[in-house]
Amino acid sequence: MLDKSGPAPRGAVRFFRATHLPGVLAAALVALPFLSLTQLALHGDPDLWPHLARFVLPTALVQTTLLLAGVGALTAIAGAGSAWLITTFEFPGRAVLLWLLPLPMAIPTYIAAYIYADLIGSPVHTLAGAILIFSAVLYPYVYLAARAMFQTHFVVFTDAARALGAPPWRLLRDITVPMARPALAVGIVLAMLETLNDIGASEYLGVPTLTLSIFTTWLNRGSLGGAAQIAVALLAVVVGLIAIERYGRRGQVVLPTQDTRTADRIVLSRGSAWLCAAACGLPALLGFVIPAAYLLNQVIRRGLLARFDAELLTHALNTIAISAAATALILLIAVAAVMPTRSGHHPLLRMSLAVASFGYAVPGTVLALGLLSPLVAFDETANWLLRQIGMPHVGLLLAGSTAGLVIAYCVRFLTVGIGFVQSGLMRVPSDMDEMAQMLGARRFALFRSIHLPMMRPALWGAALLIFVDCLKELPATLLLRPLNVETLSTYIYQYATRGNFEEGALAALLIVSAGILPVLRLVHLAETAPRAHRRSAPLTAPAFSASQP
Amino acid sequence: MNLFSRPVGIAVAATLLASASAFAQSEMKGEVNVYTYREPGLVKPLFDAFTKETGIKVNVISASSGLEQRIKTEGANSPADVLLTTDISRLEAAVQNGITAPLNSKVIDEVVPSAFRDPEGHWAAVGMRARVIYASKERVKQTAITYDELADPKWKGKICIRSGQHMYNNALFAAMIAKRGEAKAEEWLRGVKANLAQKPSGGDRETARDIAAGKCDVGIGNTYYWALMNDKEADRKPWADATRVILPTFEGGGTHVNVSGVALIKTAPNKQNATKFIEWMVGPTAQQLHADSTYEYPMRAGVPINKTIASYGELKRDPLPLSQIAANRKKAAELVDKVGFDQ
């Protein structure tokens, strides 16, 4: 430790401390693939740009913007709307919907696209179709953020307003929406980034997005450099999105946790109650019930259980092991990187955390391509070192290994971990730290007995999102996985590429089931926490962007 | 505390387990490592048969893009022995990335016709497919058709097709450029675009679906998709029933074909096994299996063509060398952009 003088006074600025190391290393890890991408981009062929600018990028930009705007708007309406209704009112089926509403996040977008194309046919092969399908499975990102926010933040205000006779719509307009804006912004940006990352669904539905143009430039126009250039440009779009999210979070109110209570829900008249149930039921129906029922039906009709492929079990265990490993590693890195922001200003750390959140920005395949070179470079260095000390040649260690895959997931999803830890930490009142330190608690004791327990819901929220994202991850997994290793995603994909994805229905259901358990755990935590530990910050609203100290 | 540390413990154990299994795979004997763009389920019967006959274990990694780049980046330490892929463009891309080595195999030279292997020996085809017309049984009476004719306004609003940037279409358009020149090909592609019933999307099966639904009368698809729908996919049988396959030709030429093929990787750690595998792939057993499972035309003379495929009629292959198709692929991609084919 460089810093032996004990806790520095709050507000002191020192550019680098030893405690910054995890954050800086996390940033380096994420920066590596981008650096190798940038290097590729520099070798791009400049003749391509006039062509791209004239014929490809305008359409791609317009389509991407429309798609993002549509998905943003629809996920906001569906996610925030259902979260508000379910928090504010009592209606039939509410208990079931509480569990159902987050579940669509376990359905990969491209699976949803195939299912709806099969059910409805060519009308879904449109921009509107794509917006609907993406929104149906991505709204839970907004829902989860909004629900946690609604549940705990407004009771004081809504109680007062209701006592003064304000009708529900005024509660919504004057209290709920303004106060929920930060959480909504976070959820919407996550949903948009997921959209931006997709390739399978946009290609199948015929929406020529920017992400897709990276692919056609690389594979058809034969220019990996050009593809890397578009990818780098796309990064700018993402930085823009993150800036919007930061703007959306301005003036975020952090309420003292003592006041978190669950409001009594308003009991509605019969007609309104059913309307309410229908409004909440629709997103869950489209995003989860129909796709899951479709998959189940395929499993039964095709007798997939009867000719159960024993290898599928291995694939499932592989997938869960890799995803769990990546989730744990991300949370460890995120906690280690974010904790030092607790006291004082740390410009270097702020910057590092911002860089570490770019992993969500590029499509998985591009990220994987960028990651290959650093992994191989590491392996070659290791081999060189071993040779120097007379040890035998070991070949590739990280590249094409499960460890390489875990690293890729870390780069990709570190953002989520960092965001959740930041927002979790923000809700621990700083007077608690001061009190504990006055009573002589050392930093680690403070972390272990106060910060960690109070952040637990946020950590669980992060674990859920990361784990489910890892389960679903396809493009990077396809390119980086070792010989003979399949994950559930890649297993389904082999049928999907043959246009026969129904044969992978069982594997898709396994992804859904593996995703359901953590979702249920999270819902359980969120629903019971407010009553159980009133003082212990049951907040799970994910803050996504980095660098919010 | 417990609540959080238990999952962490499990996950750490999982990491260790996962990396241990990764190390276990690094040393291989009596094996061959195949990097493939083909779907694992489709080629698994082939690999199993190879292992049964030779005792050589086949390790596989399948992906949909980027394998050449992966092999290239992995460099001298790459475990890759063989690249097994569809489409001439990928075989050529592998050669251009400098990751292949000449096969130098008498067996390949004897079995595979010279039009279906690289003159320098860097790749060889193991199967062939054709890009053909799916036509509505009800609404299309003609039994012969040319690719050129698809630009004729008589088809206005009657053609369905998947994305113009998909490699199957890309190769067809590249062939058109090679045969007619860029200007003529552009005029043709604009004509086809003007005749489309809807924006390009979906896959070749969806093209048949949309013809069956009456959205269009003709579509472009590969030979094996129709056969698969007809023979193996009960759900989609109605789409095959509503359509029939016409083998189209270029005016004054034949039917556009493409290949699936193999290449030997320059840095292959198991070169002997790799060569054995490649030669086995064109042997009678493999060619029969391959023709049956992939519905491709076999390369080896004397191996019967699958019945459904044969029912399309006799294939008259266009004589344009495959290398010319690969050479025009970038131009074709740019042409698709230029005429706004996918918009």
Residues in chain B: 343
**How many other CB atoms sit within 10 Å of the CB of residue A235?**
16
Q: Which superfamily, per CATH, for A27-254+271-532? A: MetI-like (1.10.3720.10)
Bin B264: left if φ > 0, else alpha if -120 < ψ < 50, else beta.
beta
The CATH number of the domain where B297 resides is what?
A: 3.40.190.10
In a domain, B121, yes or no: yes
The shortest CB-CB distance from B165 to any of A216, A322, A372 is to A216
- In a 10 Å sphere around its CB, with 0-12 CB exposed, 13-18 middle and 19+ buried, how is residue B33 labelled? buried
In angstroms, the CA A508 to CA A501 distance is: 9
Per-residue tokens: A524:
């359980």
In a domain, B1, yes or no: no
φ/ψ of A91, rounded to 5, equals: -155, 165
Q: Which amino acid is at A174?
A: D
Query: Do B156 and B91 have their domain in common?
Result: no
A493 interfaces chain B, CB cutoff of 8 Å? yes
In a domain, B8, yes or no: no
Largest CA distance in chain B: 78
Angle at B29 between CA B24 and CA B30, to 5 degrees: 130
In a domain, B332, yes or no: yes
In a domain, B343, yes or no: no
Interface of A with B in 439-458 (CB under 8 A): 448, 452-453, 456
In angstroms, the CA A299 to CA A321 distance is: 25
Query: Do B195 and B319 have their domain in common?
Result: yes
In a domain, B11, yes or no: no
Helix (H) or strand (E) run with residue A522 in it? helix A505-532
B96: nearest CA partner in chain A: A222
In angstroms, the CA B340 to CA B343 distance is: 5
Query: Do B39 and B72 have their domain in common?
Result: yes
In a domain, B4, yes or no: no
Predicted TM-score of the model (pTM): 0.84
Asked if the Cβ–Cβ distance from A483 to B79 is below 8 Å, we say yes
Per-residue tokens: B231:
């023979």
Q: Which residues contact A334 (CB under 8 A, 6 or more apart)?
A: A26, A414, A417, A418, A420, A421, A462
Query: Do B217 and B325 have their domain in common?
Result: yes
Chain A: nearest CA to B110, how far in angstroms? 32
Query: Do B228 and B332 have their domain in common?
Result: yes
Q: For chain A, 549 residues long, give each residue's pLDDT as a single digit of tens.
A: 334 444 444 445 567 777 888 888 999 998 998 888 888 888 777 778 888 888 888 889 999 999 999 999 999 999 999 998 998 888 999 989 988 998 998 888 988 999 999 899 878 889 999 999 999 999 998 998 888 777 765 666 777 777 888 887 787 777 777 777 777 887 888 899 889 888 888 888 889 888 888 888 887 777 888 888 888 888 877 777 777 777 766 655 555 444 445 557 778 888 888 999 999 999 999 999 999 999 999 999 888 888 777 888 899 999 999 999 999 999 999 999 988 888 777 888 888 888 888 887 777 878 888 898 999 999 999 999 998 988 888 888 888 899 999 999 999 999 888 888 887 787 777 778 888 888 887 878 888 888 888 888 788 888 888 998 899 898 889 889 999 898 998 888 878 776 777 888 888 888 888 878 877 777 777 666 544 343 333 334 443 333 333
Query: Do B274 and B206 have their domain in common?
Result: no
Query: Do B205 and B327 have their domain in common?
Result: yes
Query: Do B299 and B193 have their domain in common?
Result: no
- DSSP symbols for A448-477: IIIIHHHHHHHHHHHHHHHHHHHHH--HHH
Chain A: nearest CA to B200, how far in angstroms? 6
Per-residue tokens: A206:
């015929």
Query: Do B35 and B111 have their domain in common?
Result: yes
Tell how far CA B281 is from the center of its chain: 16
A297 interfaces chain B, CB cutoff of 8 Å? no
In angstroms, the CA A413 to CA A331 distance is: 10
Number of domains making up chain B: 2
β-pairing, B31-36 vs A89-90, is: unpaired
Which domain range does residue B134 map to? 129-256+314-338
Helices A310-338 and A347-356 pack at an angle, to 10 degrees, of 160
β-pairing, B218-222 vs B124-136, is: antiparallel
In angstroms, the CA A79 to CA A61 distance is: 26
Query: Do B230 and B267 have their domain in common?
Result: no
Instruction: Report the candidate in B165, B161, B129, B128 with the shortest Cα–Cα distance to residue B147.
Output: B161
The shortest CB-CB distance from B63 to any of A56, A216, A478 is to A478
Give the start-to-end residue ranges of the domains of chain A. 27-254+271-532
The shortest CB-CB distance from B73 to any of A216, A373, A493 is to A373
In angstroms, the CA A29 to CA A33 distance is: 8
Tell how far CA B225 is from the center of its chain: 12
Query: Do B237 and B300 have their domain in common?
Result: no
Query: Do B36 and B122 have their domain in common?
Result: yes
Taking CB atoms and an 8 Å cutoff, what residues of chain A touch B336? 220
